[in-house]
């Protein structure tokens, strides 16, 4: 049975694309079949490529949207009085591509002075496709009476309160910054919006219209982080010349300051994410900005106006600051003209800004009414494959539920500090940063984050003495005395491991600076393996575009024997189950079934038999070649009777060389998000990070560590 939801804007600039993205993501997290259809392309100013909503969802979700009709063709049909024929073509295209057992999100048109026919066409399309209606409204600074009046009018347009097709309303951009006329501020870094206003949200929920049958389906707060463009987006908009490229593709701009004052009057503007606009001949200001960058402040970018060139000697003086990644660009326009250009900047998310798109999707999805989203999935087919978004949703949702205390020994490492702030803000864990508070707060300020009460900072020197006796008790047989123990505890990873051993924390995450050996060695010595585990192994969660695969062991055991390989398979299957994946385990080899011989194949064959005998309830098969395990057509050909071939989602590699090479080849070749390695078989959860880990990698590793702690 299919469900069709059409999003109808109430007014202009309601952020319809944002809500579409969020609803698709929320449904994706339910692991169901989804369609997306924007019947008519409606390009915005500056859009030259494919329709924006369709492109974003096709690239960033496991959905293949239905292609929209071009606006020129639509307007030609309307002007020729062929609207009925147009509607027939829309229905035909929809029916050709829609899945009968899926939920379809349909995005309506926004009424503008260039598209006055949009409201009438939305009504006709919703009727033609027999879609339920959900309104999207921006409350602005209107009082509740006026908002209610607007909604009553639009509800009447779509059949009134008695219509079963009129479902509810989603409020977007709640608490957004407004100008003096009550309009949404469109300029970059306009102002910081105040914190979530629960009183305003409650006023919206209490509108009289919601007592008449219309449902309140969500309130999406405006969030400054979600409208921060990249420096490269501004450079393209202004057609700026790059003097120093730096990190222009990744640095975010959260504020704009025009530097026309003396240095001592503008030091407050030298902050993370700031776009500093200055005349190209103001060498004093330029040097001051470079000094701030050298001091660790991650400025957004410098924009030089007037077409002036930087003095050669000044540029040499500031070369080291440039090497920190500070983007510097130049325009020929004067300061006033540049300000006008910045004011006209299109704040909509670019289709290639993956990081921002992901954040927008997650934020919007989390703001929708969960019970309504779940109700849409009733009698709709579930996907057999767990999508990456559904996996991430499981991680974050489950981590919130278990609410574990996770120690981060690398407490003053910048990415770790930002990740801790995010985890505390989203309620994923109670992070504990080991380090001196002044240093950690300085790093946080440089990274542009504030550490809430949910982030705990512990000075190692203040707590080290508590664990000397315990360390001696654990390692005394190896010659560890009080003096040696105190010396070993100078290492924060060892200190954090002792905190975990004493149950003062629930898990440990390290490795952004430390090597894998430095992270794991204290755990093996002090935490040890679980009672039912013969070894410690690892898995990676590989987030492919349409599903999540589990790879084990790619980080710990160089050449496991058959018994150990069987244990790794069982541990990996158990980990998959812990994270919502129904395991189908493939024991990987260079040969499938009985087609090959040799000691390596025999090891995998024996390991498969051992694993099957130990856990007959699991789907485990091998030996299987990778293509036979992963590709259905190959699996049918090479192993037609296998319950796993072509459908495997847990891949167990015969040795570390094969596993590590495969995971890195897949990750790098397809630019995949890869979470791990997650250690298995420990009494308590300890997890390692890649030294090249991104902030999001650390956040997800903290979340999965919390879940492990709850399942241990």
The CATH number of whichever domain residue 452 belongs to comes to 3.40.50.10950
Least confident residue range of 173-182, 253-262, 349-358, 512-521: 173-182
Q: Half-sphere exposure of residue 157, counting CA atoms within 13 Å on the CB side?
A: 19
**What is the gyration radius of the CA atoms in the chain, in angstroms?**
28
Judge contact between 585 and 607, C-beta under 8 A: no
> 């879940």: which residue's tokens?
707
> What are the helix (H) ranges across 61-197?
71-79, 83-97, 118-128, 144-157
- Band of residue 28 on the pLDDT scale cut at 50, 70, 90: confident
pLDDT, residue 48, reads 64
Instruction: Report the pLDDT value the prediction gives residue 377, as an integer from 0 to 100.
Output: 82
Domain end call among 499, 526, 553: 526
Judgement on whether residues 337 and 364 belong to the same structural domain of the protein: no
* 264 and 335 fall within a common domain: yes
- Split at pLDDT 50, 70, 90, the class of 665 is very high
Cα-based distances in Å from 308 to 282, 287, 659: 9, 15, 54
State the average pLDDT over residues 495-524. 93
Cα 429 to Cα 699: distance, rounded to the nearest angstrom:
9
Confidence band of 263 (pLDDT split at 50, 70, 90): confident
Residue 189 pLDDT level (bands cut at 50, 70, 90):
low
Q: What is the pLDDT of residues 193-221, one digit of tens each?
A: 555 667 878 888 999 999 998 999 999 99
Give ∠ CA 23-29-33 in degrees, rounded to 5: 80
The answer to whether residues 440 and 412 touch, using CB atoms and an 8 Å cutoff, is yes
DSSP 542-577: EE-SS-EEEEE-SSS-SS--HHHHHHHHHHHHHHHH
Q: Is the pLDDT of residue 191 over 70?
A: no
Provide φ and ψ at 190, rounded to 5°: -50, -65
Q: What is the pLDDT of residues 105-127, one digit of tens each?
A: 999 998 888 888 888 999 989 98
Residue 226 predicted with pLDDT over 90: no
Average pLDDT of 632-660?
94
Whether residue 543 is found in the same domain as residue 484: no
**Residue 690 included in any domain:** no
Query: How large a percentage of the chain has pLDDT more than 70?
Result: 95
Q: What is the mean pLDDT of residues 629-651?
A: 93
Is the separation of the CB atoms in 31 and 386 below 8 Å? yes
Mean pLDDT (whole number) for 240-261: 91
- pLDDT value for 286: 92
Which helix (H) or strand (E) is 474 found in, with range? Answer: helix 468-475
Q: Which of 244, 139, 254, 262 is nearest to 202 (CA)?
A: 139
Location of structure tokens 């490229």: 245
Q: CA 705, 707, 708, 712 torsion: positive or negative? A: positive
Q: What is the pLDDT of residues 277-300, one digit of tens each?
A: 999 889 889 999 999 999 888 999
Structure confidence at residue 180 (pLDDT)? 61
Do residue 130 and residue 32 come from a single domain? yes
Within a domain: residue 705?
no
Q: Average pLDDT for residues 154-177, to the nearest whole number?
A: 90
pLDDT at 98 over 90: no
**Rounded average pLDDT over 136-140:** 91
Q: Is residue 548 part of a domain?
A: yes
Closest to 581 in 3D by CA, of 552, 607, 610, 558: 552
Query: Confidence class of residue 188 from pLDDT cuts 50, 70 and 90?
Result: low
Tell whether the torsion through CA atoms of 479, 480, 483 and 484 is positive or negative: positive
Q: What percent of the chain has pLDDT over 90?
A: 56
Phi-psi category of 456—alpha, beta or left, where left has phi over 0 and alpha has psi -120 to 50? beta
Continuous H helices in 304-436: 312-317, 319-322, 335-343, 354-367, 370-375, 388-402, 414-426
Does residue 383 carry a pLDDT above 80?
no
Tell me if 59 is assigned to some domain: yes
Q: Is 692 contained in some domain?
A: no
Number of domains in the chain: 4
- 360 CB neighbour count, 10 Å cutoff: 25
pLDDT for residue 177: 79
What are the tens digits of pLDDT across the range 432-483?
999 999 999 999 998 888 898 899 999 999 999 999 999 999 998 988 999 9
Question: What would the mean pLDDT of 646-674 be, rounded to a whole number?
Answer: 91
Residue 327 CA to residue 161 CA, distance in Å, equals 54
Q: Which tokens belong to 621?
A: 């098969």
Residue 689 neighbours by CB distance under 10 Å = 27
Asked if the model's pLDDT at residue 596 lies above 90, the reply is no
Identify each DSSP E strand in 180-330 by its residue range.
215-221, 241-244, 255-258, 274-279, 301-305, 328-330
Q: Is 127 helix (H, G, I), strand (E, B) or coil?
A: helix
297 and 329 belong to one structural domain: yes
- CA dihedral of 23, 25, 28, 30, whole degrees rounded to 10: -70
Q: Do 485 and 422 have their domain in common?
A: yes
Q: What is the reported pLDDT for 18?
A: 93
- Contacts of residue 484, defined as CB under 8 A and 6 or more positions apart, other chains included, come to none
pLDDT band at 414; cut points 50, 70, 90: very high
* Residue that finishes a domain, picked among 526, 558, 588: 526
**Residue 490 covered by a domain:** yes
One domain for residues 150 and 215 = yes
pLDDT in tens, 536-553: 999 999 988 778 999 999
Query: What pLDDT, on a 0 to 100 scale, did the predictor assign at position 31?
Result: 78
Asked if the model's pLDDT at residue 186 lies above 60, the reply is: no
pLDDT at 261: 84
For residue 7, what pLDDT is reported?
A: 96
34 in Cβ contact with 135 (< 8 Å): no
Whole-number Å distance between alpha carbons of 1 and 321? 60
Cβ distance 280 to 305 under 8 Å? yes
What phi, psi does 290 have (nearest 5°)?
-65, -35
Reported as a pLDDT band with limits 50, 70 and 90, residue 513 is very high
Question: 374 is in which domain, residue-wise?
Answer: 3-42+49-224+352-383
CA separation for the pair 515, 625 (Å, rounded): 32
My answer on whether 512 and 644 are in the same domain is no
Residues 132 and 212 grouped into a single domain: yes
Confidence at residue 390, expressed as pLDDT on a 0 to 100 scale: 73
Region of 17 please: left (phi>0), alpha (psi -120 to 50) or beta: alpha
520 lies in the same domain as 552: no
DSSP string, 214-228: -EEEEEEE--GGGG-
pLDDT digit string (tens) for 555-588?
889 999 999 999 999 999 999 998 888 999 999 9
Contacts of 570 (CB under 8 A, 6+ apart): 611, 614, 615, 618
Average pLDDT value over all residues in the chain: 89
- What's the token pair of residue 334? 């004067």
Q: Looking only at Cα atoms, what is the longest distance across the chain? A: 92
Cα 249 to chain centroid, rounded = 18
CATH number at residue 124: 3.40.50.300
- Asked if the model's pLDDT at residue 534 lies above 70, the reply is yes
615 shares a domain with 509: no
Backbone torsions φ then ψ of 205, nearest 5 degrees: -60, -30
Taking residues 303-308, report their average pLDDT: 92
| pLDDT, position 364 | 94
Q: How far apart are CA 513 and CA 519, in angstroms?
A: 10
Asked if pLDDT for residue 656 goes beyond 80, the answer is yes
- Single out the residue of 42, 166, 23, 215 nearest to residue 105, CA to CA: 23
Same domain, 334 and 362: no
pTM of the model: 0.72
CATH code: domain of residue 327: 3.40.1390.20
Contact assessment for residue 166 and residue 155, using Cβ atoms and an 8 Å cutoff:
yes
**pLDDT value at 683 more than 70:** yes
Q: Which domain CATH number covers 590?
A: 3.40.50.10750
Out of 330, 364, 383, a domain closes at: 383
Would you say residue 532 lies in a domain?
A: no
């Amino acid at each position: 049975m299919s469900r069709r939801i059409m999003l109808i804007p109430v007014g202009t600039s309601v952020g319809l694309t944002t809500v579409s993205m969020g609803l698709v993501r929320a449904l994706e997290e339910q692991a169901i079949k989804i369609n997306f259809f924007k019947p008519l392309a409606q390009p915005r100013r500056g859009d030259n490529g494919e329709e924006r909503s369709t492109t974003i969802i096709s690239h960033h979700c496991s959905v293949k949207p239905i292609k929209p009709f071009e606006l020129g063709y639509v307007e030609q049909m309307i002007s020729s009085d062929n609207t009925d024929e147009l509607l027939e073509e829309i229905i035909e295209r929809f029916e050709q591509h829609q899945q009968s057992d899926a939920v379809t999100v349909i995005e309506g048109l926004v009424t503008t002075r260039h598209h006055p026919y949009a409201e009438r066409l939305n009504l006709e399309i919703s009727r033609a496709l027999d879609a339920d209606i959900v309104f999207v409204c921006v409350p602005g600074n209107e009082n509740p009476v006026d908002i209610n009046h607007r909604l009553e009018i639009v509800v009447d347009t779509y059949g009134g309160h008695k219509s079963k097709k009129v479902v509810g309303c989603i409020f977007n951009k709640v608490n957004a910054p407004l100008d003096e006329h009550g309009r949404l501020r469109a300029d970059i870094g306009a102002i910081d919006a105040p914190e979530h206003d629960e009183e305003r949200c409650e006023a919206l929920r209490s509108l009289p219209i919601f007592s008449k049958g219309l449902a309140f389906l969500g309130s999406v707060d405006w969030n400054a982080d979600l409208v921060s463009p990249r420096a490269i987006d501004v450079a393209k908009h202004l057609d700026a010349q790059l003097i120093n490229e730096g990190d222009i593709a990744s640095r975010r701009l959260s504020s704009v300051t025009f530097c026309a004052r003396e240095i001592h009057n503008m030091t407050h503007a030298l902050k993370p994410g700031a776009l500093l606009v200055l005349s190209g001949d103001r060498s004093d200001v330029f040097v001051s900005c470079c000094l701030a960058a050298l001091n660790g402040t991650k400025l957004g970018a410098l924009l030089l106006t007037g077409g002036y060139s930087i003095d050669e000697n000044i540029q040499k003086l500031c070369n080291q600051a440039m090497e920190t990644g500070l983007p510097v660009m130049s325009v020929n326009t004067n300061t006033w003209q540049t300000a006008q250009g910045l004011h006209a900047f299109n704040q909509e998310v670019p289709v290639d800004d993956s990081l921002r798109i992901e954040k927008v999707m997650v934020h919007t999805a989390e703001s929708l009414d969960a019970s309504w989203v779940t109700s849409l999935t009733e009698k709709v087919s579930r996907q057999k494959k767990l999508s990456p978004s559904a996996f991430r949703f499981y991680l974050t949702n489950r981590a919130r539920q278990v609410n574990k205390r996770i120690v981060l020994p690398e407490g003053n490492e910048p990415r770790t500090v930002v990740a801790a702030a995010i985890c505390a803000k989203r309620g994923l864990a109670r992070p504990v940063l080991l380090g001196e508070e002044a240093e950690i707060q300085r790093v946080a300020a440089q990274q542009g984050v504030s550490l809430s009460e949910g982030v705990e900072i512990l000075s190692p020197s203040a707590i080290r003495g508590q664990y000397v006796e315990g360390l001696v008790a654990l390692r005394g047989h190896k010659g560890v005395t009080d003096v040696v123990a105190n010396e070993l505890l100078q290492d924060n990873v060892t200190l954090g491991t002792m905190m975990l051993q004493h149950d003062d924390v629930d898990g440990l995450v390290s490795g952004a600076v430390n090597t894998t050996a430095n992270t794991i060695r204290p755990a093996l010595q002090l935490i040890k393996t679980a009672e039912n585990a013969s070894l410690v192994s690892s898995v990676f969660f590989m987030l492919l575009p349409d599903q999540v695969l589990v790879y084990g062991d790619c980080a710990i055991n160089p050449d496991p024997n058959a018994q150990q390989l069987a244990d790794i398979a069982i541990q990996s299957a158990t980990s998959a189950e812990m994270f919502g994946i129904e395991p189908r385990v493939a024991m990987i080899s260079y040969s499938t079934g009985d087609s090959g011989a040799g000691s390596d194949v025999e090891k995998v064959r024996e390991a498969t038999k051992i694993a099957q005998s130990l856990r007959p309830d699991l789907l485990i098969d091998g030996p299987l070649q990778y293509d036979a395990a992963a590709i259905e057509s190959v699996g049918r050909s090479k192993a037609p009777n296998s319950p796993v071939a072509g459908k495997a989602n847990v891949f167990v590699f015969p040795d570390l060389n094969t596993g590590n090479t495969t995971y890195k080849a897949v990750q790098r070749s397809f630019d995949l998000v890869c979470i791990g390695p997650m250690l298995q078989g420990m009494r308590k959860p300890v997890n390692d990070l890649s030294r090249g880990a991104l902030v999001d990698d650390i956040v997800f590793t903290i979340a999965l560590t919390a879940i492990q702690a709850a399942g241990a």
